[in-house]
Amino acid sequence: MKKNVLFFSIIFSAMFAISQQVVPCVTDELYLETLKTNPLVKLEENRANTLAAAHQQVTLKKAGSVRYFPVVFHVIHKYGLENISQTQLNDAIRILNEDFRKVAGTNGGTSSSSLSIDMQYEFRLAQFDPNGQPTNGVNRIYDAGTDNATNAQKALSYWDAKRYFNVWIVNTIYNNTGQSGSIVLGYAQFPFQINSNTNTDGVIIRADQAGAIELGQLSQSGRTLTHEAGHWVGLYHPFQGGCAGATASDCANGGDQVCDTPPVGSSTSGCPTLRNSCTNDVPDLPDQVKNYMDYADGTCMNIFTPGQKIRVDNYMNIYRENAFSTTNLSAIGINTDGTYKSLTAAIIKAPYSFGFDVNSLPGTGWTIENYMSPGDSGWAINNTVALHGSGCISAQNNKNNRLNIRNAFISPSIDITTLSLPTLSFNMAYAKRLSVSGDRLKIFISDSYGRSEILARIILVSEMETGSESKNPFTPATTEWKKYSMDLTPYKSYTNCRIRFELQSLKGNNIYFDDFVIAAPTSVGEIIKQSMQFVFFPNPAHQKATVTFLNEEAQLLDMSVSDISGRVIKQLQIRMFSSGKQELEIPLEEIPAGLYLFQVKTGKGNFIHKFLIN
């Protein structure tokens, strides 16, 4: 998936460079439109600027405490590439904080300018929503308005702007500049608009401008959000009013109303560090092209100034003080030092099992995240197929013709600290549609409601396959299910263990999932089997099978096939195996059809695996 996303990102970069003009920001244009319908906003702007100007000549005081803003991303999508991942959104937050905090070793920390400063503002994904419910700080909403988005799309998902920094992610943004064919990257709303335009307060950017990975538009290095966040905290463009916008004697009331940012004749592109577009300032200084509030390339930007910080501090004290207040941060799950508050242990305690014997998931704690277009098929409760009980959860993957559709279902949060050796097990059935089918199931584990996840395991198509390849929709027989197990010991401290199963569709057939269990393993052998990530496939087998396992260190292994009574009928291998991932082909041509045991003897104990030969 990452390779494909990177490919599309490169294509988009080429489109930007060759065929379309880029308009980095339309904040000013949108603000002028606002004044047409609500001219009183100008009075509030004037009042705020008067207060800020009174402090502009004040020497920057000694560094104080860092202020933290809770962030929520509203991803408006049509199940396309614009439905960007949590990982990409986390990367957007990373870049935002590196820039605002002038973090050493990052682009924000590379500036050699004496005017480059730590703004002492940081951004944190919200841990609780406005209703006090746990969240990963991301809302995903399907709406065709993700194309040519306007402020109208903000009404689809909005959290109280006096408590949260709202960031809307869309596919494309409506072009109101009159420049035909140009691409708008983003826009923001100024702090002094919060009381008159509360429900649209925040930032809206294209999905390819969030972060610098996956779909992130590499040419801007994720700094479209830094620029727009600068507007959100009260900063203008340095080219505001052009060369005539500010004079040496009245810099606090003209231009961008910041005295240590020289006037700029027009917006910057590229990174022309010797540019001096205005000569009327005293002393005559070159343009500050690396300032985050100009339009230089993202890799060029690395400056916020002391004057900008003074302005922002004043604006924040007037308009956004509640957002970073101790009371608000505490309610949203953020400590005053910026760390996340410890979450209350989940109500559900391990051992825990769920058989999907329900008509629907609401009320069970389980959720589904299907990222699909009309005509595609995602995960759903299936009351006609089950290994045990009356139902399972399945994805009718045979209907999906688009590649890399990612659909997921998610467990409730489970406190697994109650088990000394927690183990996940489940049953699954799957078949290929074509010989080139490349589906895979990814298992993610989180202790923070999905805000951050660990990719714990990838089950490739070779391990998934339990039925025969067929272009017809696959429905499993009882013998076409396979049990999987996974050691959760690395996560045994998790009081809110949430497991997300993500199917990545690549021309495969239907998949079925049943009998989710988190419990203690039943034997020493089972523990060893899980720790080695032992997999035997296909099962049933015919003429040959494959086993894969992982050695943490080199060890002597004795492998054999026995009948159901335990009598060895075929000795396979007795030898040292090196550390790392291992894969062996097991010849079975001479063994008649029936039920058998694959036996593995290790220095720590033994285990068996039942299998059928057709």
Q: Indicate which residues carry an active-site annotation.
A: 228
DSSP annotation of 196: T
Distances (CA, A) of 47 to 177, 279, 315, 467, 583: 28, 30, 11, 71, 71
CA–CA dist 8, 450 (Å, integer): 26
- Which secondary structure element, helix H or strand E, spans residue 215, and what is its range? none
Crossing angle for the helix pair 41-56 and 306-319, nearest 10 degrees? 130
> What are the structure tokens assigned to 281, written together?
């300032």
Which spans in 63-106 are helix H?
A: 86-101
DSSP state of 173: B
Catalogue the E-assigned strands of 365-418: 367-370, 379-382, 392-395, 405-410, 414-415
Taking the mean position of all CA atoms in its chain, how far away is CA 59? 40
Write the single-letter amino acid at 353: S
**The dihedral sign for the CA sequence 321, 327, 331, 336:** positive
Spatial contact of 391 and 489, defined as CB atoms under 8 Å apart: no
DSSP 268-302: --S--TT------SSS-----TTBTTS---TTT--
User: HEC states along 97-159?
Assistant: HHHHHCCCCCHHHCCCCCCCCCCCEEEEECCECCCCCECCCEEEEECHHHCCECHHHHHHCCC
Cβ neighbours of residue 530 under 8 Å, at least 6 residues apart? 423, 485, 486, 487, 521
Residue found under tokens 């905290």: 233
- Give the rounded distance of the alpha carbon of 437 from its chain centre: 26
Give the separation between CA 424 and CA 521, rounded to whole angstroms: 9
**Helix-helix angle 27-37:41-56, to 10 degrees:** 130
The number of residues in the chain equals: 614
Q: Rounded distance, CA 43 to CA 39, Å?
A: 8
Q: Count other Cβ atoms within 10 Å, centred on residue 346.
A: 22
| Token pair recorded at residue 437 | 């089918």
User: What DSSP assignment string belongs to 305-354?
Assistant: -HHHHHHHHHHHHHHSTTTTSHHHHHHHTB-TTSPBPPPPPPSEESSEEE
**Among candidate residues 257, 320, 342, the one with its CA nearest the CA of residue 70:** 320
Q: Which of 124, 123, 70, 72 is closest to 100 using CA atoms?
A: 123
Q: Is it true that the peptide bond before 283 is cis, omega within 30 degrees of 0?
A: yes
